[in-house]
Amino acid sequence: MTDAMDLLRSNLSRVRIPEPTNRIYKQECCLSFDTPRSEGGLFIDLNTFLAFGKDFVVWNYERTGNPVYLHIKQRKKLVPEDRPSKKPTLLAIGVDGGFDNNEPEYDETYNIVILPNYATLPFPSVELPEKVRLAVDAVLLAESTERKEQLAAWTADKKQISSYAMNLQQIDNGVTVPPSGWKCSKCDKTENLWLNLTDGMILCGRRNWDGTGGNNHAVEHYQETGYPLSVKLGTITADLEAADVYSYPEDDSVLDPILGQHLAFFGIDFSSLQKTEMTTAERELDQNTNFDWNRIQESGQEVEPVFGPGYTGLVNLGNSCYLAATMQVVFSTHSFCERYYTKQSLKSAFETAPADPTVDLNMQLTKLAHGLLSGKYSIPSPDKFEKMNSSSLATNAKQEGIPPRMFKAVIAASHPEFSTMRQQDALEFFLHFLDQVERQNSGSSGSDPARSFKFGIEDRIVCSSGKVAYNRRHDYILSLNIPLHEATNKYEVEAFQKLKAQKTSEGKELDSDEIIRPRVPLEACLASFSSPEEIHDFYSTALQTKTTATKTARLTSFPDYLVLHMRKFIMGEGWVPKKLDVYIDVPDIIDLSQMRSKGPQTGEELLPEAGPEDEFQSNKPSADEDIVAQLVSMGFNHLHCQKAAINTSNVGVEEAMNWLLSHMDDPDIDSPISQKADFVVDQAKVDMLLQFGFQEAIAKKALKASGGDIEKATDWIFNNPEASISSEADCFDATTSSTPTNLDGGLPDGGERYRLMGVVSHIGTSTQCGHYVAHIFKDGRWVIFNDDKVGVSVNPPKDMGYLYFFERLKE
C-alpha cells in the first residue's frame, strides 16, 4: 500500500478537481456499454472525467498518459422477492414518484487505481492526499452528464392557467347539472363525460386510437361552437386544482382559477362531490403502467426471446422508440455492419476520435454497432434469470438491452427536435441520420454506408408543344401515396362505413371484429408514383408562356437498399393531420424493372434552355383571367386588375375589388408585376403551419411555393417529405435545364428485384405520439425488435408498415 501511495503522490499533477462546468461521465463507458455493474466495473479518468470499461481503460492511458482513475463497482443487494411495487404518481422514469418496476438496488464500492499496473487504494480513506479526496468527492456528488442529457421520460408538464378562464362567457340557458346520473347528450355514454363551461352541455370525450374512450362529441361541440373550456365530470372535488379542465384552443389540460364560480353557474356544489373518474394525466399514467408490448403488435402470442449477435435490444430513453426501431433495421444492412463493425474496431475509432470521444459521431456509431452486433450485451438479464427455472426460461427470459444515450446526444446535436424527449417521426429521423452519416464520411477514406440507400429520380416533363424536359434529383426514400380507390375490398369497406354511421347515430360502439380496413396492394402505390401527373402553370420555353404539362417519374439508379415510405399521414378536415387506417398488402419479393428510366428517346425534341426572360416569366405570378376580365369590364386598368387578383390569391372578384379600391393611390400601382421571388411570407400563416407540427423553414418554403395558400402549402409539405433535408443542389428546375445530366456517378446500381428485409410500424394517431416497432428478417425468420425486447415474430404485421426496407436480390 505504501508503494501505491507513493505512486499516487508522484502523479498528483495529473489529478484535477472538477469545476461545475465540467462534463462528468460515471454511468457508462465512452467506448462501450460497460457500466459500474459490469464485471470489471467502470474507471473514471480523474483528469478528463471520461469513463472507461475494464477492457478499454488501458487505451486511454496509452493515449493520454493519465494514470489515476476512480474505480466504481456496483453489486446487487439482496432484497425480498415479494417487495411491493410503488404506484407511480408522475408520468416519469428515474425520478421520485415515477415508475419503480421493482428495479434492484445496488451497493457501490470505490477504489483509486493507478495505471499501468493497477495499483489500488481504497476510498474513502483519510490517508489519501487531500487533492484526491476533493476530486473524488466532487465526482461522486456531481450529476452525471449521462443523467443530465437523458433524465426522465414522459414527465408531465405543470398545468398553466388558461387564458380563456377569467373572461369566460357563460350562457344562462336554464341548465342545472345534477350531482350524479350523467349521460352524454348525443349518445349513451355514461363515462368519460365532459361539461362545457359555456353552455352546460354534457358530452363524451375523444375516441382513443385503439377504439376505446368516447365518441368525440365534446370536441365536435367545440368545433361547432368555439366554446373553449370543459371540465371532466367525476374529477371535481373540494380540491378544485385537481379537477381535469381542458382547453380546446390551447389543446392542453389547464387551470381555471375561478372554476368554483363557473361550476356554481350550473348549480354545482363542488364541496359535496366525490371523485369517480381518472383525470387525463392519471389515465395516461394508467395506460403506460399497463403497457404490454405483445398487445400492441402481436397480441396474445407467445414470443420466444432471442439472444446473441445481432439480437441486442435498445433501452427506451423516453419516447426514443423511433430511434430504436430505425437503428435496428439500419444495422441489419451489410453496408452499415461492414463500415462500423467488421471493418472498424473500437480501438481504431478511438485512436482517430477527438479528445472527447463522446461527441464524435464515428466513435459513437462504432460503439453502437459493436454493442448491437457483437452479442456481448444480448444475454438473459441476471436479475430475471435467477428467478427462472429451465422450463420458463424459453419464453420468459429478458435481456437488459443497451441505452443509446451518447449516440442520441451526438446525432441530435444539430437537430433541436431530436434532442428533446418528445416522440418524433421515424422517417424524419432516418433522413437526418443518413444526412449526418454522409457528411461524416464525405472527407474520410472509408466508404459511405449511407450511399447504399441513395438513388436517382428522373421527372420527364412533356409540355403541350410536345417538347420534353428532364429534371433529376437524388433521394434516400421513395415516398408513396396510398390510392384508397384501389382497395381490393372496397365493397366490404363501403358496407362497414354504413354500419359505422348507423351505430354512431345510435350512440353504440363498434366491436373490434366488425372493423374493416381498406386493403391496398403495394403494386397500386408504386403505380401511382409512376403514373402521369398534370402540372398546371408550367412555363414552356418553347411556347414562351404558361401551359399544362405532363410529368412522369422513374428511377435512374437502383440502390442496394430501397426504403418505401407509406404516406399514411394526410391533412384531414380543418387542416388537422390524421392517419389513414389502411392495410398495405406487401409481397416478400418485388420487381421494379418497369420503373427504370429510359432517358431521352430517339426523335425526342428537348425544350430550349431557359434564358433570363424565361426565368422572369416562369416566376411571374399569374392572375385569374376571369377575375381580371370582370374588373376590366367595370372600367379599371388591366394591369391594376391583374395586381388585385394576384394580391388576393385569385380568391374572387369582390376581394380583388376591395384590394383595388384601397390601393389605387399606391406609388407602385403602375409598376410592372414583380417576380414571385419577391413574395413575402405571412408570419401568421407560418405560425398556423407550425401548430400542425411542421418545421418553420419547411413551412416558409411551402408557403412560397403555393403563393401563400395554407391548404396548398399543406399539400405541398405532404407531397414533398424529402424537403426537410434536400439541398437545392440536389435538383434543378426543368425550365433551366432540358438535358439530363449525369448526377448518379458513384451511386450503387444493379438489378431491380428486391426482397423485404425490414418493416418499421407505427401505432398511434400521429407521428408525434404513439409507438414504433421494427420487424426484421434475420437468419431465415422474422424477429420483432420492440425497444429492449427481442423475440421470434409469430405474426409479423407486414401490412401495417410505415417504412418498408427492401434489399436487392443478388443475381
Residue of 428, 365, 440 whose CA lies nearest to 725: 428
**Calpha distance 201→179 (Å, rounded):** 14
Give the length of the chain.
Answer: 811
**Calpha distance 346→60 (Å, rounded):** 12
Q: Which of 184, 321, 337, 525 is catalytic?
A: 321
**Calpha distance 277→537 (Å, rounded):** 57
Q: How many CB atoms lie within 10 A of CB 76?
A: 13
CA 482 vs CA 492, 574, 636, 724: distances in Å: 18, 21, 47, 21
3-state secondary structure of 456: strand
The answer to whether 455 touches 502, Cβ cutoff 8 Å, is no
Concatenated DSSP letters for 550-606? Answer: EEEEEES---SEEEEEE--EEE-GGG-EEE---EEE--SEEE-GGGB---SPTT--B
The answer to whether 386 touches 392, Cβ cutoff 8 Å, is no
**Calpha distance 402→313 (Å, rounded):** 6
CA angle 45–51–54, rounded 5-degree value: 95
Active site includes 321?
yes
**Calpha distance 647→164 (Å, rounded):** 35
CA 719 vs CA 84, 558, 567, 569, 728: distances in Å: 52, 22, 9, 11, 17
Residue with cell 439472444: 307
The answer to whether 389 touches 136, Cβ cutoff 8 Å, is no
- Output DSSP code: residue 609: P
Q: Which of 71, 640, 762, 771 is catalytic?
A: 771
φ/ψ of 219, rounded to 5, equals -70, -35
- Output DSSP code: residue 781: E
Strands (E), 240-325: 245-247, 252-255
The answer to whether 553 touches 526, Cβ cutoff 8 Å, is no
Active site includes 71?
no
Distance of CA 722 to the CA centre of its chain: 14
Pairing type for strands 569-571 and 577-579 reads: antiparallel
Residue of 247, 246, 249 whose CA lies nearest to 281: 246
How many CA within 13 A on the CB side of residue 103?
9
Retrieve residue 197's grid coordinates. Answer: 363551461
| Residues 6+ away with beta carbon under 8 Å from 460 | 468, 469, 470, 551, 552, 553, 554, 597
**Calpha distance 191→212 (Å, rounded):** 11
Q: Any idea of the CA torsion for 83, 86, 91, 97, to the nearest 10 degrees?
A: -110
Residue of 158, 156, 154, 194 whose CA lies nearest to 277: 194
- Beta bridge partners of residue 563, listed in sequence order: 477, 805
| Residues 6+ away with beta carbon under 8 Å from 383 | 76, 104
Residues marked as catalytic: 321, 771
